[in-house]
Amino acid sequence: MSETATDTHCPYCALQCGMGLRRTGGAVPVEVVERPGFPVNLGALCGKGSNAAAVLAPGARLTTPLVRVDGELRPAGWGEALDRIATELSATAAAHGRDAVGVFGGGGLTNEKAYLLGKFARVVLRTSTIDYNGRFCMSSAAAGGIRAFGLDRGLPFPVADIPKAGCVILVGGNPAETMPPFVRYLRELQDNGGTLIVVDPRRTRTAELADLHLAPRPGTDLALALGLLHLVVADGRTDEAFIAERTTGWPETRAAAMAHWPEHVEAVTGVPLPQLREAAGMFCAAETAMVLTARGPEQQAKGTDTVSAWINLCLATGNAGRPYAGYGCLTGQGNGQGGREHGQKADQLPGYRKLDDPAARAHVAAVWGVHPDSLPGPGPSAYELLDSLGTSVRSLLLMGSNPVVSAPHSTHIAERLRSLDFLAVSDVVLSETAALADVVLPVTQWAEETGTLTNLEGRVILRRKAVDAPPGVRSDLEVLHALAGRLGHGEGFDTDAEKVFEELRRASSGGAADYAGISYRRIAEQDGVFWPCPDGDHPGTPRLFLDRFATPDGRARFTPVQHRPAAEEPDAEYPVRLTTGRVLAQYQSGAQTRRVEALNAAAPGAFVELHPQLAERLGVADGDRVAVVSRRGRTVTPARLTTAIRPDTVFMPFHWPGEANANVHTNPALDPTSRMPEFKVCAVRLEAVA
């Protein structure tokens, strides 16, 4: 740690860039400074990270509990607020059963918070109704990784390995806007002679960097991957030795790919056949190659199968289980990886253990000091949980999420939240969701607390407290401790993050995500430790699968998949495809970044991006207000004309609430395996607005 600055990490995306915080003594209590020694970003920060301290200002955040009285939120003391939450949760359980009490977490919570929230749900509330917004992030990639490799970790290798590959296919990701410091690895790849292929229906800032840009119709990434594998097989470019030695299931997968001949794939995707052949040739010509997916292919009702198809391409060419090759997922949220490993996800216990595994239940129950039979079973996924609010789920405790803006079919979810008997929200700011709550608890944020997170590489890192929180603000750990005590569990809910992490280590020991050998001291000494790390003498595991995959027989598993249409295809009434995403200056639901003046100046509001050909048919000029209409709702935003998008597709960023909320339209159709909603494609029509 520097003498003049506290070494810590950015509060935003899963890259978890290192930064320093130096005290200022002003209204904003710290300023962000470079931390060049951290190996992931080497000091570089995007605009969000550089301006992260602005949300620490008193005017930008909550500083006192709020309790709804006569329909209005009014300031209250902590005792009154906590008493009301405990009373309401108890009353709901008594009247409607334990599962009528729901818990909804966030992918930005530290490992300690995520762990204790899952423990609180299962030990104190004894409810199966818990999930988190990370379900909307990379659950399809996780399901595809487990299906193929027996284990899910966003990247099974450090980001520093990416420039050493010969070719990288980046599918449905735009890191130039979502995690800009990552782009240095793509540029370094090209400087080393490697090639970059970007798959995206828009010519994004990242696609501008590519050696080859493929622009498929939204919802056709699965067909594209199958078409590339078909070409690899037809050209005799498969790695038969690797397939025989380290995989199973190839004959069935080969047959499935051969059913997707290139001309058919061209018709489905809109990607010209010469580009398909060029992409397959570039991928196979490289000595080592990688496929990296992001939300584009994953946030679909067939996202798991789409991920499997891209993994199949890696396996068929021998690009897995060896250095500088493989499949990886660019996790989005700050702790999207760690957040699900330790108990927020509906079907998981700490250490990536399955909740329906008797041995897993016995191990974790022993750490928690309860009987295994007392632990509830798996519960509903995130959207299913939110959809059940006000019916089977009557009260909800929500931490660090803003589903009024971020959930699919968001107007419906807002209605479900309003229909609850009771809603309690623990958050840093008065988000659109918190504004609907019966009780709002103001909690500490990143610079005011210590805790661990796990970045997209599986590197466990340590955020350090740099400044005290304002008076009246408590940590989420203190909230859970106080509620547990009021609900009859005075022990087992520590308020000290390091003590909670020590318990997490024991609970994860022996699991797939084994943190037993990771300590705060080791993290500080090594700039993070890669899991699995089963004991103190283990160095950590920056690269997975080099010797064997995490399956019972050590072999990777091919999965035969077939392309199928999106859950909602264009028709005469809704003839255009809508896809959604992020912009450089805002983050997720915008609950924090929309409170930063510099970021709002750079990205002041929503827009709908459309091709000039489509705009001409509508009689719309650049800047005109346009209504976007779907089966689920109507939004109005300015038009932004660009040739960087397909003429049959429009794009909206999803950071803004109200009449500009893109998630009014997004389709809650769910992937049958991951339960991921289909955020990335739905059918709309556009109307000019006077």
Cβ-based neighbour number of residue 547 at 10 Å: 7
Q: Tell me which amino acid residue 658 is.
A: G
Structure tokens at 342: 């330790």
Give the per-residue pLDDT at 2: 42
Cα distance from N-terminal residue to C-terminal residue, the chain: 58
Q: Cβ distance 96 to 394 under 8 Å? A: yes
Q: What is the pLDDT of residue 93?
A: 98
The confidence score (pLDDT) of residue 3 equals: 53
* Burial tier of 237 (Cβ tally within 10 Å: 0-12, 13-18, 19+): middle
Q: Which amino acid is at 124?
A: V
> Residue 231, SS3?
helix
Low-confidence ranges of the chain (pLDDT < 70): 1-3
**576-688 CATH choice from 1.10.3720.10, 2.30.40.10, 2.70.170.10, 2.40.40.20:** 2.40.40.20
H helix or E strand, kind and range, residue 592: none
Residue 332 exposure: Cα atoms within 13 Å on the Cβ side: 28
Query: Which residue type sits at 30?
Result: V
CB 193: neighbour CB atoms within 10 A? 8
Both structure tokens of 22: 């130096």
Cα 199 to Cα 85, 295, 319, distances in angstroms: 47, 12, 19
Could you read off the pLDDT of 150-190 as tens digits, one per residue?
A: 999 999 999 999 999 999 999 999 999 999 999 999 999 99
For β-strands 422-427 and 439-442, DSSP reports them as parallel
Q: Please state, in angstroms and rounded to a whole number, the distance separating the CA atoms of residues 313 and 306.
A: 11
Listed in sequence order, the residues at least 6 apart from 644 whose beta carbon sits closer than 8 Å to its beta carbon are: 202, 203, 204, 207, 609
The fold of 66-136+335-530 is Rossmann fold (3.40.50)
Closest CA to 348 of 96, 118, 555: 118
* pLDDT per residue as tens digits for the range 380-422: 999 999 999 999 999 999 999 999 999 999 999 999 999 999 9
pTM above 0.85? Answer: yes
- 139-330 is classed CATH 3.40.50.720: no
The reported pLDDT for the residue numbered 1 is 39
Task: Name the helix (H) or strand (E) containing 474.
Answer: none
Q: Given this model, what pLDDT does residue 340 score?
A: 84
- Which residue matches tokens 């782009």? 183
Report how far apart, in Å, the C-alpha atoms of 179 and of each of 158, 162, 407, 583, 659 are: 16, 15, 22, 10, 27
Q: Which two structure tokens, joined as six digits, stand for 462?
A: 């340590």
CATH top class, domain 6-60: mainly beta
Do the domains 139-330 and 66-136+335-530 match in fold? no
Rounded CA separation 489/120 (Å): 9
The 10 Å Cβ neighbour count of residue 97 is 12
Give alpha helix (H) positions in 299-438. 303-316, 336-341, 358-368, 382-387, 403-406, 410-418
The tokens describing 541, both together, are 């595991």
- Supply 650's token pair: 């429009």
**Among candidate residues 296, 261, 258, 16, the one with its CA nearest the CA of residue 169:** 296
Q: Give the start-to-end residue ranges of the domains of the chain.
A: 6-60, 66-136+335-530, 139-330, 576-688
Judge whether 162 and 190 are in contact, CB under 8 Å.
no
